[in-house]
Copies of this chain bind each other. A is one copy, B any other.
Amino acid sequence: VGKSNVPGPCTARLESIEDVVYEQRPIPEISGDQVLVQVKKTGICGSDVHYLVHGRIGDFIVNNPMVLGHESAGIVSKVGPNVKHLKVGDRVAVEPGATCRACDACKSGRYNLCPDIIFAATPPYDGTLGRFYRVPADLAYPLPQGVSLEDGAMMEPLAVGIHSVSNLGGFRANQSIAIFGCGPVGLLCMAVAKALGAKRIIAVDIVPSRLEFAKQYAATATYLPIAPNEGESKIDYSRRNGDAMKQQLGIEDRGTQAIDLVIDASGAEVSIQTAFNIVKSGGTFVQVGMGNPNVTVNLSQLMTKELVYKGSFRYGPGDYPLAIALVAQGKINLKPLVTHRFPFDQAITAFNATRAGKSEDGKGVIKAIISGPDVSTDED
């Protein structure tokens, strides 16, 4: 049941827009510092779907066929001669960006800004959605006991949450956070905030079922944006919306009722605008969501509140280890987020469900996991 019978080393490759094909591939050679990981579980991310549907994300354009997938965990199947901390058979989460290790960014602790990063499923580099994936050994993180391979696949989006909330947001115990967007990334940001000892976690989404999910999962309160008025500009709407949100939830500009940190994980312009309104004087706003690149923001708020508005890009030093540790310690529970599981040969169905936001049976998708070519969907 749910076990793919595609033979040999194989991948699900994006051939052209909307066209995924399966193909056999040679098993990659590894060098001294690398390991070969047999991929067991891969989560589907909005960006995979975006490449599938649009063939590009901003300036990253898929010109040649490309294997999709970058949220993966698996079993170490080969180990380079210099590798000490791993052995064949180890269960690992894969950090999917190999960096140059020699540029200023890499050396100064910001390797996610490395211009030469080889990131899985970002053109022109192949992704992880195949039988094997090759990585530098330090990017294969052993999974502690009690952390499943599915959990391991979820470490990638969780690391995005860690990076934005803990690292860039500097979030600490007893602080309050508002998170716009209750997709997997927003929900994981909430999970991180909770694990770090948040006082208040406010979830915002335009889809009531997602708010409901957030409330069950990690939020202490939710907010459903008000309806815009006819002909109202976005910025006017957002001022009203922010005021309504403040009033409804008793949010203030300063003091114990203030919001220390806002995360946008929706990419929606009105979320971003509203965020400037509700964040506290002296507060921080971390931008994670990517939507329309050009967004109108209110600079009076930025200035008179001396806000710090930071872009968040993937994850960096320490983010994967913290993600894994918080899950291992039970401070973050990833299991409720995996709503769908597909065998390898149903990858296309999986993409379609993620794209539609629900499977054919109408069940809402948070995260769909595709099992490796030879893995049952029952194993986790």
Residue interface bits A99-138, CB-to-B below 8 A is 1, else 0: 0011111111111110100000000000000000000111
Contacts of A331 in B (CB 8 A): 173, 197
Residue interface bits A309-327, CB-to-B below 8 A is 1, else 0: 1111100011001100110
Copies of this chain held together in the complex: 4
Cβ of A298 under 8 Å from chain B: yes
Contact status A197-B195, CB under 8 Å: yes
Contacts of A250 in B (CB 8 A): none
Residue interface bits A296-314, CB-to-B below 8 A is 1, else 0: 1111111111111111110
Interface size class of A (residues with CB under 8 A): 35 or more
Q: How far is the CA of A255 from the CA of B325 in the complex (A)?
A: 12
Contact status A308-B306, CB under 8 Å: no
Contact status A299-B326, CB under 8 Å: no
Q: How far is the CA of A256 from the CA of B295 in the complex (A)?
A: 30
Cβ of A3 under 8 Å from chain B: no
Distance in Å from the Cβ of A315 to the closest Cβ of chain B?
11
Q: How far is the CA of A288 from the CA of B328 in the complex (A)?
A: 32
Contact status A255-B58, CB under 8 Å: no
Cβ of A19 under 8 Å from chain B: no
Cβ of A329 under 8 Å from chain B: yes
Could you write out 11 A-B pairs with CB less than 8 Å apart? A106-B107, A108-B109, A108-B317, A109-B109, A173-B195, A272-B299, A287-B299, A287-B303, A296-B296, A297-B297, A306-B311
For the complex of A and B, the 9 pairs showing the least CB-CB separation, nearest first, are: A109-B109, A302-B311, A303-B311, A101-B101, A108-B317, A293-B300, A102-B138, A309-B309, A107-B317
Q: Which residues of A contact B (CB under 8 A)?
A: 33, 58-59, 101-113, 115, 136-138, 166, 168, 172-174, 195-197, 199, 235, 253-256, 272, 281-282, 287-288, 290-291, 293-313, 317-318, 321-322, 325-326, 329, 331
